[in-house]
Structure 1
Amino acid sequence: LVEENDKNECKVACFIKGPATALENLKCRIVNNASSLVVEDSEELVSNVISIECSDYKKTITFPINIGIPFTSCFRGNYREIVVKVTDVNFQSKYLTPISLERYQGNHKEAFVEVKIYQLGVFSVLSCLKKETFTVPKVGLTQKLNVDSRISFCYPPETFSSPAPMEIKIQPVETSLVSILKARHDMYHAVVSTSALVYVQHPSAQPFNSSVTITLPCPPNPDQKRQGDETEHARAITATVKRVATTYHTRSVSASVRKNGENVQDTLKLLGHRNQEEEWKVFDDVIIQNGRNGLVSFELNEHLESFVVIRLSFLLENTYLLLFAQALEEALGSTMANVILYRKRENPYKIIVLLSASKELPCELQNLHEEGYFGPPEPTQQFPLREGEQIHFSFRGNIFASENGKDFGKAYRLIFHSQRKHRMELQIKEVDEFGNHSSPHYKGTVVFYKITRDMITKKWEQPLPYDEYQHQSPLCKLALTLPKHEKLTNRPRSTKPTSSDSSEALWDNLLSWLAEELAEDNTSLLTLCLPVRRSVLQLVKLKCPDNLTHQIYELLCYWKKTLPRSADKQQLLSRYLRKSGRSDLSEELHFKWQNKVFT
């Protein structure tokens, strides 16, 4: 099924395989504006959001049918998997396991996920944390996880009174994330590393009859490892010294080595919560054993829905540990992002606005430059966004925007998905052509607001509110300017200014010659000592970003327009050229003016 957009461009929404009679009555739409409603924490959208419904409700659809949905995903190791989520009109969801992940569907070279469906609804392809399911029998079980064989759960015999199903997900924690949190807050300096964040579902809710032993990796302190290496190196030096020095001296060195090698033992803490309603808790009574190769193990005599082990270089108050766990969970569920607003180089009235993950910002800017889009303004400061959160923005001041060139003054929306790019091309124009009369350009501001998933109404049709953001503070703002275009004034014939000579045309030729001469020596606009405002220099650079000759010409023309009619332009321009260190051009200008040589 093919979706057609406003630009008369077609793109494949999905492929459907089934009885011909069933396919005749299906209607498919891409509903990406509702994408915030189909994702939850730890889920990442990797496809369009597709609504498939029956076009004739009197007809009966014969199930099952197969659908293939194109998607683009960056797989993140063993910990994530691709699933299809189907959501009904009441926002009840089910997860479907793919039949296949194909690179080709017919003649289309794309990644497709194929699933068998038994109901219609809204379909989306998601990258989720991989779920491991197993059942603990009465005789006990030692289960090593497929996502990471270093993580294991050991259930002794009679742990449960009857077989108990378990569902486990592992959220890895990158060491760089811990470093970022420590850099932001000095109070987390004691944190060395953390284990993965473990989520456990225990549907039967049976109490534990005996303790369960859990083993998982928690990276060791690199400083201690370095100290241990230094100790071994010092011992080797000591052994060498023994062969050439006195016994007394050797003992002194050995004693010194042992003193330096005495490391303070790391502290290991278990944090978790029993259910989603509870806050994080520190389990001080749980003893954690420090094993080899960075493995730690501990025993639990109760069910925890989620937990993490934190390695500390020195003791930290529980209050700070709880704050760290909350900050870690928040950071794992969010991504630092920036808003980019660039304008087309050839047409400053055309702009593009997009959301980009901060780590991909340099690549995004490079791609925009290749498409002909440049600043100013510069991208916004980075800010955290969760999957499915929205950025609403509107234009204030003397500039407004439109998607279609007709409807100006609306609010606009960007939806953040870490593995998808959401961009919007807009046309901008001035609200009042006589506004900003003291400035060479029109001025406006783009105001951005952050809309969390909790603030979004659960409706499949997502209208954009207009001017309803006064109750919340803006996330950020970007200043925007638009060069003024020269107005043509039609005067009656009797009032049209006439010139007794062709001095204007001669001056135009003279300034063109002067611009070429200055550009040949790569003369900077700032080195020209013309009395113009800095905003004029910025406007000229924006108007002709890649052509220095045109920039200098535009600047000279602007300067000439500001002069009264009675001013001696040649004498003034010669003086500024001398001040700029170009006495040669000043003399040549005087010669050309005196002899009327302008070609």
Structure 2
Amino acid sequence: EVRSPRHWMKKEFLVKGSGKNEPGVACFIKAPAAALDNLKCEIVNGSSSLVVDDSEELVSNVISVESSDYEKTIPFPISIAIPFTSCFRGNYREIVVKVTDVDFHSIYLTPVALERYQGNPKETLAEVETDRLGVFSVLSCLKKETITVPRVGLSRHLSVDSRISFSYHPETFSSPAAMEFKVQPIEPSLVSTLRARHDVFHSVVSTSALVYAEHPSAQPYNGSVTVTLPCPPSPEKKRTGDEAEHARAIGATVRRGAAAHHARAASALVRKSGESLSDALKLLGQRNKEEGWKVFDNVVIQTVRKGLVSFELREHLESFVVIRLLFLLDNTYLLLFAQALEEALRSTMANVILHRNRENPAHVVVLLSASKELTRVLQGLHEEGYFGPPEPTQQFPLREGEQIHVRFRGNIFASENGKDFGTVHRLIFHSQRKPRLELQIKEVDEFGNHSSPHYKGTVVFHKVSREMMNRTWEQPVPCGEYQRPPLCKLALTLPKHERLITRPRSTKRTSSDSSEVLWDALLHWLAEELADENTSLLALRLPVRRSLLQLVSLKHPGNVPGQIYELLCCWEKTLPRSADKVQLLARYLRKGGRSDLSAELQSKWRNR
């Protein structure tokens, strides 16, 4: 079929799959046939840290689209459709496509279409029309709502939450002015978490949503704007007991070593006896990021009805939130709460998981998982055949795009491709994607850890924030020493494999003692008998280390007789030559509730 260079076509761009995976679809591009032939597409997920900002969540691969012949002009606009998977969208968020150039200048494109991808029912295609090439990524962002305020004023309820409204009085602006709003909901559980971590925040009952506002024209306010938004009321409970508990908590905090000015501030927290106990409402906001958070004590906040408050603003604030207090809190602690709240909204509590394959202990996976999904992720790994030890790390906060660097120390190192051992491995955190490493581990020194039945190593995890990264596409990650101590460490072991030693015939060891042959046969018989009764290794009551039990289980997965026989042989090697191993083993069998096998073992040995 003869193609016309001007004929528009839709082309599927494939990328190589990893391992046994088939090639995947990077994107679909619709353009004139001649232009399609000059376009090249590549997945650059290693640079994903550079394309996300605060409150943005990556939901697709990061794709670089370039022209292979810059002398030929591409007839813009062209259409690009990118597959993505989004789990948590909600009413407050929307899907956008971000285009970033080589100088890290970005624009946001609203998809002209969002439709199911027939090749993968779990994915959706975000199609945009673009007049430039660069690095494309599909993001879940806070939904932006734009209103234009005329001179005569305007009253508008936001579509993301109709309970939030802005009423601009006439002549608030001298000329029509555009206002852009974003709303970040705050879950009550997040406030409860902050209260539990910090005693000084005990007075905080609830908060409104965090509202972001942009005023592109920067016109001064000639009048005021009435803001109405929901702020949940305090629960119906006895306040006096809570206040006393809070006073004791603050006193304990101060005694633990707060600074002098903190102590003076804390002393103002407890009200005088007889003073009325009613909720206090405070407005916290930022005129700009440079000035930071401020408490606006001069703004009077009124309760419109239960759970709904309003106040008058006479100046522009880039962001603001209303806080409901059980009783008054010093402004120093209110500002600390605003900073902690902002940081918590940007972060996700996560864990690192390192598990080994049951059939092949030298094959490990390393994952980053949100803490709230940890149980489900572990269950999925178990279904794939991956188990601990080690157990997952303690949870820690991670922001979108931050990286975890994985380094192996000690007598174990790892490789992603089976060739390059000893390198640093990276996991990039994105809350809606599943960062995962599949590694092959091996020992550094085959003759190391000679007194142990397994090789020993340590996995060290370093956290790299976006601020620590270089703003360059070639190598965004800093190399060399890390500025901060390790985030956490995990101990790792690798079972030793038996080495086959070929000896000359004259030096081969043979056993002429028939009792040793009988003893070995008795161990095999005993292992079979115990396996038939599904006896666990712990039930044998043998004085061996727990690490030996784990090693035996890894060496003989699913083979219970083999595990028991191996354990009996290892136990026997720990005995001195003068020990009566038959009597000792018979005693341990009796302790384990198998007096019948104990008597039969002694009988077989006597009648040898």
The alignment's TM-score, normalised by the length of structure 1, stands at 0.89
Q: Counterpart in 2 of 1:315?
A: 328
Report deviation, 1:55: 1.5
| Cα gap change, 1:536 to 1:153, in 2 (>3 Å) | same
CA deviations on 1:197-226 (whole Å, 9 max, x unpaired) are: 011000111111111110000001112699
Matched letter for residue 552 of structure 1: I
1:154 to 167, 178, 202: 167
Q: Distance in 2 between matches of 1:300 and 1:491?
A: 91
Q: Distance in 2 between matches of 1:532 and 1:75?
A: 49
Preserved contact between residue 68 and residue 115 of structure 1 (Cα < 8 Å): yes
Q: Counterpart in 2 of 1:331?
A: 344
1:23 to 36, 41, 52: 36
Q: Counterpart in 2 of 1:298?
A: 311
Report deviation, 1:104: 2.9
Structure 1 unaligned blocks of 5 or more: 228-261
Matched letter for residue 350 of structure 1: H
| Cα gap change, 1:92 to 1:463, in 2 (>3 Å) | closer
Report deviation, 1:348: 0.5
Preserved contact between residue 87 and residue 94 of structure 1 (Cα < 8 Å): yes
Q: Counterpart in 1 of 2:378?
A: 365
Preserved contact between residue 37 and residue 458 of structure 1 (Cα < 8 Å): yes
Q: Distance in 1 between matches of 2:285 and 2:97?
A: 30
Q: Counterpart in 2 of 1:473?
A: 485
Q: Counterpart in 1 of 2:201?
A: 188
Report deviation, 1:301: 0.7
**In the alignment, structure 1 residue 558 sits paired with structure 2 residue 573:** no
Q: Counterpart in 2 of 1:589?
A: 601
Q: Distance in 2 between matches of 1:277 and 1:345?
A: 53
Preserved contact between residue 468 and residue 478 of structure 2 (Cα < 8 Å): no
Q: Distance in 2 between matches of 1:455 and 1:516?
A: 59
Determine helix, strand or coil for the equivalent of 1:381: coil
1:536 to 525, 538, 548: 548
Q: Counterpart in 1 of 2:499?
A: 487
Greater Cα shift, 396-405 or 57-66: 57-66
Q: Counterpart in 2 of 1:87?
A: 100
Q: Counterpart in 2 of 1:62?
A: 75
Q: Distance in 1 between matches of 2:63 and 2:452?
A: 48
2:414 to 383, 393, 401: 401
Q: How does 1:566-585 map to 2 (within 5 A)?
A: 569-585=581-597
Q: Counterpart in 2 of 1:117?
A: 130
**In the alignment, structure 1 residue 424 sits paired with structure 2 residue 437:** yes
Q: How does 1:10-409 map to 2 (within 5 A)?
A: 10-105=23-118, 110-223=123-236, 264-409=277-422
Q: Distance in 2 between matches of 1:294 and 1:568?
A: 79
Greater Cα shift, 448-457 or 514-523: 514-523
Q: Counterpart in 2 of 1:4?
A: 16
Report deviation, 1:565: 6.5
Report deviation, 1:467: 4.8
Q: Counterpart in 2 of 1:526?
A: 538
Determine helix, strand or coil for the equivalent of 2:530: helix
Report deviation, 1:76: 3.3
Matched letter for residue 36 of structure 2: L
| Cα gap change, 1:535 to 1:162, in 2 (>3 Å) | same
Q: Counterpart in 1 of 2:3?
A: none
Q: Distance in 1 between matches of 2:368 and 2:541?
A: 41
Report deviation, 1:508: 4.0
Matched letter for residue 377 of structure 2: E
Preserved contact between residue 47 and residue 476 of structure 2 (Cα < 8 Å): no
Determine helix, strand or coil for the equivalent of 2:127: strand
Q: Distance in 2 between matches of 1:548 and 1:52?
A: 55
Preserved contact between residue 333 and residue 386 of structure 1 (Cα < 8 Å): yes
Report deviation, 1:504: 5.7
Q: Distance in 1 between matches of 2:226 and 2:574?
A: 83
| Cα gap change, 1:106 to 1:339, in 2 (>3 Å) | closer
Matched letter for residue 574 of structure 1: A
Determine helix, strand or coil for the equivalent of 2:137: strand
Preserved contact between residue 345 and residue 374 of structure 1 (Cα < 8 Å): yes
Report deviation, 1:522: 4.0
| Cα gap change, 1:10 to 1:444, in 2 (>3 Å) | same
| Cα gap change, 1:63 to 1:491, in 2 (>3 Å) | same
Greater Cα shift, 338-347 or 106-115: 106-115
CA deviations on 1:131-151 (whole Å, 9 max, x unpaired) are: 000111111100110101111
| Cα gap change, 1:371 to 1:502, in 2 (>3 Å) | farther
Alpha-carbon RMSD = 2.2
Q: Counterpart in 2 of 1:251?
A: none
Preserved contact between residue 444 and residue 479 of structure 1 (Cα < 8 Å): yes
- Give % identity: 75
Greater Cα shift, 318-327 or 71-80: 71-80
Report deviation, 1:586: 2.2
Preserved contact between residue 470 and residue 478 of structure 2 (Cα < 8 Å): no
Q: Distance in 2 between matches of 1:463 and 1:424?
A: 19
The alignment's TM-score, normalised by the length of structure 2, stands at 0.88
Preserved contact between residue 400 and residue 431 of structure 1 (Cα < 8 Å): yes
Q: Distance in 2 between matches of 1:514 and 1:263?
A: 78
Preserved contact between residue 400 and residue 409 of structure 1 (Cα < 8 Å): yes
Preserved contact between residue 516 and residue 549 of structure 1 (Cα < 8 Å): yes
Q: Counterpart in 2 of 1:516?
A: 528
Q: Counterpart in 1 of 2:510?
A: 498
Q: Distance in 2 between matches of 1:531 and 1:265?
A: 65
Aligned residues: 561
**In the alignment, structure 1 residue 434 sits paired with structure 2 residue 438:** no
Preserved contact between residue 214 and residue 298 of structure 1 (Cα < 8 Å): yes
Structure 2 unaligned blocks of 5 or more: 1-12, 241-274
Determine helix, strand or coil for the equivalent of 1:14: strand
Preserved contact between residue 65 and residue 118 of structure 1 (Cα < 8 Å): yes
Larger Rg: 1
| Cα gap change, 1:221 to 1:107, in 2 (>3 Å) | closer
| Cα gap change, 1:534 to 1:21, in 2 (>3 Å) | same
